[in-house]
Amino acid sequence: MAVRSERLPVVDTAALLDLYERMVLVRLFETEAERQYKAARIGGYCHLCSGQEAATIGSVHALQDDDLLVTGYRCHGFALARGVPPAAVMSELFGRADGCAHGRGGSMHLLDVQRGFYGGWGIVAGQLPIATGLALALVRQERRQAVLCELGDGAVNMGAWHESLNLAALWSLPVVFMVVNNGYGMGTAVDRASAVPELHRRADAYGMPGERVDGDDLEAVIESTGRLLAAAREERRPAVLELLTYRYRGHSVADAGIAYRSKDEIAARMEHDPLVRTRERLREAGIEEATFDEIDARTEETLAAAVAAAQESPEPDVAELAAGMYAAGSGEQFARMLPGSPFGERDLVFAGGLGT
Amino acid sequence: MSTETLVPDPVPAAPASEVMTYREALRLALREEMERDERVFLMGEEVGVFEGSYKVSAGLLAQFGPERVRDTPISEEGFVGAGVGAAMLGERPVVEIMTINFLLVAIDQVVNHAAKVGAMFGGEVRCPLVIRTPNGAGNQLTAQHSQSLEGWFAHVPGLKVVAPATPADAKGLLKSAIRDDDPVVVVENLPIYKEKGEVPLDPDHVVPIGQAAVARPGRDVTLVAHSFATVRALRVAERLAAERGIEAEVVDLRSLRPLDVETVAASVSRTNRVVCVEEGWPTYGVSAELAARIQRACFDDLDAPVERVGMAEVPLPYAKNLELAAMPNEERIAATVLSTLELA
Ligand SMILES: Cc1ncc(C[n+]2csc(CCOP(=O)(O)OP(=O)(O)O)c2C)c(N)n1
Ligand SMILES: [Mg+2]
C-alpha cells in the first residue's frame, strides 16, 4: 500500500471518488441481482462480477466515448460501467420490455449500441473474432477508435483466441484483448487449464505487447488499459492485457463456489478487495468517512429505483416473438411459407414481428 | 449360545432393477463400462474435480483417477478431435460436451473428421468415439444455450445419434454407444436429468441402437417423439385419455440415426394419423425427416396430413413469457392432435 501511495495519481481525487462510486454501484448491483435471482425474478444463468470491480470500472473508464466494448457473459458490471442505466440493466435481467436488449437477451446478453457496447456473448471466446471484425470495420471506415474485448482466463484455450490474435496482429487492428484472469474458469484453476499460466505471454507469439497488471488496483488498470487503447487507436497496435483479479461468488448464482477452492483462499483474496483499496486511497487524499456512507445510501436508492422500474416494465409482447430476427422487408420473402399462406404449416414460423 | 447365529440369513435375490434418476443411470453406465473395459476413458470440461456440470460423472474421478477421468481446458475442438485420434488407435473415449450448444465449435471434428474415418479410408480404420451432450431449453438460458441441434448430427452419414428419454434407455443406449465401433453422439437432456425411472441393473443389459419403442400404446393417433419431446408427448397422451377419451400411441424414437422407420410405420398404419413432436426447429428437422418417411411408408393408411410441432422458429428469447410461447408446449401439442383428429 505504501508503495502505491508514492506513485503519481492516475486520476485526481474527484475523479477517483466518482470511480469509487461506480465500483460501489457494481458491487451492490450484483448483490441485488443475486437477491432477485433467489426470489425467482431473474432466471437463466446469472454470472456475478463481485470482486472484479476495479478491472471492470477501470478498464471501461479508459475507453473514449466513441471506443467500442465487447464482453463475455459476465457483463452486468461492464454495462453499468459504460453508463447503461441500472434500471435498463435490471429490466433486462427481469426479462422486461424496457431492458437494454428488450428482454430478449437477459443477464448474459446485455448491449447498448448508443454507448458502443456491442454485447455480452455466451459462447466462450465467441466474442473474440467479433471484436476483431469490429476493429477491421473501424480501419476500413478510417475511424480513430479502438475496441476493448473482454474475455476470461478460460477463453484463451479456444481456437478462436489464436485465430483472432493472429488476424489482429497480421492486419494491425485497433483492438485490445483484455483477459480478466479471476483465477478460475468454472471450477478449473488457471494452472489446471493453461500450459503457460502467465497468459499475457501468449501475446509474444503474435509479436504483440502483452502485459500483466494487478486488476484490483484501479489506477493500475486505468493506466495500462488507457495506454494500450491509445496505441491501438492511434497506431493500430493490438495488445493483450491480463488483469489479475478474483471472483468472490460462484461461477454463476447456481454454484456455491466452494467445491474447488478453499474458504481460506477466498478470505485471503478478499483482503485484496478493490473497493477497500480504493477507499484507502481516498482516505489518504482526505475524503471523510461520511462521504462513503453517503455513496452507499445513494447507491441503495438507485438500485431500489432500478428494481421498481424493472417490476413496472411490461413483459415483451408475445405477438412480437420474432421481432428483430430479420431485417425490415423480410416478411415478404417469407410470405410463401408462413402460417396462413396456402401451404404454410401451422406454428412453424412465428410471423409476429418478422420484418415487414 | 444359540445356534441360530450360525445359520446365515437367506441371501435375498439381487434386485433386477432399481429406481434412479436419468443422471444416475448415465453414471452407472459409465462406471460399468469403465470397469468392464480398460480402454474406456472420460474427458471433458469439469468432469473430474467439479464432478460434471450436471453431476453425471460424480464420484468417477475418485474411483478411476485422473488418467481415466480427465478434466480438459475449454477447448472443444481440441479435445473432441483428440477423442477421434485416440479412438483411431483403439481407445474408447467418451467425450462430454457441457451442452450441445458448445459442440458447434467442434463440429468440424465431428462432421468432417469423426464421421469420415470409416468410409473415406475404405474401412481401414474405425473411430469408436462417444460424444455425450445434453440438448434442451426451458430455463431462460436464452438463444445461445437453449438449442436442440441433434438433427444436424443425424443428418450426417458416418455418425450414429441416439437420444434417450428415460433412465433405462439412458443407461442401455450409452452402454451400446460405448461398445459400438463407430462414432456415436449420445444426446442427453437437461430437463430429464432429474427424472426417475426403473433401470435394469444387469451390467450386460444394453438397449440396441436403431430400435424405437412404443412408450404408450393407443389406437387413435400416433405421436412420434424423442428426448424431452417424448416426455411431453406422454403427458399430452395421458391428458387426452383422461379428458377426451382419446388413446394416443407414443413412439419414442430413441435412435435418430439409424432411424427405426418400421416401428413408426407400424404404428401409423394402425392409427392412420400422426403428429411428430420435437424440441428442435421443425424446418429441415427431425420431424421433416419423419414426415417424408411416413408419407412414403403409410401413403394409403393416412387419414390426415402428417402434422408436426416443434420449437418456434426463433433464437430462443430470454423473457419467460416469450420462452414459454416459443416452446413446443403441451397446449400446442394437444391442439395439433385434436385438429389431426378433426376434433378441434
Ligand atoms: C465454447 C463454450 N464451452 C463451454 C462453455 C460453458 N462455460 C461457460 S463459462 C465457462 C467458464 C469460463 O471461464 P472464464 O473464461 O475464466 O470466465 P469467467 O467465468 O471466469 O468470467 C464455461 C466452461 C461455453 N459457454 N462455451
Ligand atoms: Mg475466469
Q: What is the ipTM of this complex?
A: 0.95
On the question of pLDDT at B149 being above 90, the answer is: yes
Identify which of B228, B207, B83 has the alpha carbon closest to the alpha carbon of residue B150.
B228
**Domain ends where: B132, B166, B200?**
B200
**Nearest CB to B319: which of A188, A316, A350?**
A316
B258 within a domain of the structure (yes/no) = yes
On the question of pLDDT at A194 being above 50, the answer is: yes
pLDDT for position B170: 98
Q: Which ligand 1 atom is at minimum distance from the Cα of A126? A: 1
Structural domain containing residue A82:
13-316
Identify which of A182, A214, A211, A224 has the alpha carbon closest to the alpha carbon of residue A3.
A214
pLDDT band at A334; cut points 50, 70, 90: confident
Residues A305, A336: one domain? Answer: no
Phi–psi pair at A182, nearest 5 degrees: -100, 20
Q: Is B338 helix (H, G, I), strand (E, B) or coil?
A: helix
- What is the rounded average pLDDT of the residues A283-301? 98
Q: What percent of chain A has pLDDT over 90?
A: 87
Distance from Cα A189 to the centre of ligand 2, integer Å: 8
- What is the rounded average pLDDT of the residues A121-149? 98
Cell 387426452, residue located: B240
Residues A44, A176: one domain? Answer: yes
**Cell matching residue A62:** 479508459
pLDDT for position A337: 81
Subunit contact A345:B309, Cβ cutoff 8 A: no
A100 within a domain of the structure (yes/no) = yes
Cis peptide before B258 (omega within 30 of 0): yes
Subunit contact A321:B318, Cβ cutoff 8 A: no
> In this structure, how many other beta carbons lie within 10 angstroms of the beta carbon of residue A12?
10
pLDDT band at A352; cut points 50, 70, 90: low
Residues A307, A353: one domain? Answer: no
The Cα B234–Cα B248 span in angstroms is 9
The Cα B121–Cα B123 span in angstroms is 6
Residues B110, B259: one domain? Answer: no
pLDDT band at A10; cut points 50, 70, 90: confident
pLDDT for position A5: 45
A50 within a domain of the structure (yes/no) = yes
| Helices and strands (DSSP H and E) totals, chain A | 13, 8
**Cell matching residue B104:** 458447434
CA triple A217-A221-A225, angle to 5 deg: 175
The Cα B188–Cα B161 span in angstroms is 11
Cβ-based contacts of A155 with chain B (< 8 Å): 74
Distance from Cα A157 to the centre of ligand 1, integer Å: 11
- What is the rounded average pLDDT of the residues B268-291? 97
- Pairing between strand B92-96 and B130-135? parallel
Identify which of B252, B167, B268 has the alpha carbon closest to the alpha carbon of residue B212.
B252
pLDDT for position A184: 98
The Cα B316–Cα A103 span in angstroms is 11
- What is the rounded average pLDDT of the residues A110-123? 98
pLDDT for position A4: 45
**Nearest CB to B49: which of A157, A260, A318?**
A260
CA B258, B47, A189, A181 torsion: positive or negative?
positive
Nearest ligand atom owner, CA of A72:
1
The Cα B68–Cα B43 span in angstroms is 8
Phi–psi pair at B96, nearest 5 degrees: -95, 125
- What is the rounded average pLDDT of the residues B267-272? 98
Residues B195, B222: one domain? Answer: no
Cell 484490483, residue located: A216
On the question of pLDDT at A355 being above 70, the answer is: no
pLDDT for position B6: 59
CATH (domain of A106): 3.40.50.970
3-state helix, strand, coil in chain A (%, to 5): 45, 10, 40
Residues A94, A113: one domain? Answer: yes
Residues B126, B102: one domain? Answer: yes
pLDDT for position A1: 35
B154 within a domain of the structure (yes/no) = yes
Phi–psi pair at B102, nearest 5 degrees: -85, -10
pLDDT for position A188: 97
- What is the rounded average pLDDT of the residues B172-200? 98
On the question of pLDDT at B1 being above 50, the answer is: no
Q: What is the mean pLDDT of chain A?
A: 94
Residues A216, A191: one domain? Answer: yes
Q: Are A7 and A58 in contact (CB under 8 A)?
A: no
A64 within a domain of the structure (yes/no) = yes
The Cα A180–Cα A150 span in angstroms is 7
Residues B57, B196: one domain? Answer: yes
Residues A310, A323: one domain? Answer: no
Residues B235, B86: one domain? Answer: no
Residue type at B343? Answer: L
Residue type at A349? Answer: V
Pocket of ligand 1 (CB under 6 A): A 74, 122-124, 152-155, 182, 184-186, 251; B 45, 74, 76, 98, 102, 105
Residues A162, A238: one domain? Answer: yes
On the question of pLDDT at A239 being above 80, the answer is: yes
Q: How far is CA B57 from the centre of its chain?
A: 17
Residue-wise pLDDT tens digits, A65-106: 999 999 999 999 999 999 999 999 999 999 999 999 999 999
Q: Are A254 and A238 in contact (CB under 8 A)?
A: no
**Domain ends where: B200, B225, B259?**
B200
Q: How far is CA B23 from the centre of its chain?
A: 12
Measure B321 CA to nearest chain A CA, in Å: 7
Distance from Cα A182 to the centre of ligand 2, integer Å: 5
**Domain ends where: B200, B234, B259?**
B200
**Cell matching residue B291:** 414426415
Instruction: Name the maximum alpha-carbon separation found in chain A.
Output: 78
A7 within a domain of the structure (yes/no) = no
Subunit contact B101:A123, Cβ cutoff 8 A: yes
pLDDT for position B7: 61
DSSP state, A327? Answer: -
Structural domain containing residue B327:
213-340
The Cα A172–Cα A135 span in angstroms is 9
Identify which of A156, A25, A101, A75 has the alpha carbon closest to the alpha carbon of residue A323.
A101
Identify which of B53, B49, B40, B309 has the alpha carbon closest to the alpha carbon of residue B193.
B53
Residues B184, B249: one domain? Answer: no
